[in-house]
Copies of this chain bind each other. A is one copy, B any other.
């Protein structure tokens, strides 16, 4: 599949590398490819500069958001939640029409310090905001309930746990579910339409507390039943 991953942070890189490893044609979308490739310092989150990573992944192209999206069948939103709507607008609504947007972002609000809160919740969600803003796209919310390493390689846990999908388009959810299984996810629960993203986005606060309590981010939710 031709995939565009929007966002060159750790999450975007991890998903892009996994997709490429599985044989997909991947383009990483960024605001300004020249700036991204020229950066030589770690960013504010401590993410190493892109160039070294790019050199280690020569099959993965880097392009502006619109150039990345135009030829892609699957568009992964791996930007931070607060920037997602603007980035997708830059990618161009015409480049999103009919496409699957796999939205893995969370609506994190760091403006009040740590731990972050959610800038939308309970009566709406980032997934719904994206679906409303780009009605021609087929938004599937998934993977936002675990850390990037586990998104891409859940098999590193003896029990990989559960991954959720939310979306209005059954075919798009089926395609994403297949991809998740290729990643190593064994238990995919279809929660229903995109409004069910409210539930998974609201897992973030307990995820953050669990990170603190367990002292590591490599854990996952599993639904036992």
A-side residues, CB < 8 A to B, are 112, 117-118, 121-123, 157-161, 164, 189-192, 196, 198-200, 202-203, 205-210, 212-214, 216, 218-225
User: What chain B residues lie within 8 Å of A202 (beta carbons)?
Assistant: 121, 202-203, 205-206
User: What chain B residues lie within 8 Å of A191 (beta carbons)?
Assistant: 206, 209-210, 212-213
Return 27 A-B CB contacts under 8 Å, by A number: A117-B123, A121-B121, A121-B122, A122-B205, A157-B225, A158-B224, A159-B224, A189-B210, A189-B214, A190-B213, A191-B209, A191-B212, A191-B213, A192-B212, A192-B213, A196-B209, A196-B213, A199-B206, A199-B207, A202-B206, A203-B203, A203-B206, A210-B223, A214-B223, A218-B225, A219-B223, A222-B223
CA distance A215 to B127 in the complex (A): 24
Q: Is the CB of A220 within 8 A of B219?
A: no
Q: Is the CB of A189 within 8 A of B203?
A: no
Q: Is the CB of A222 within 8 A of B225?
A: no
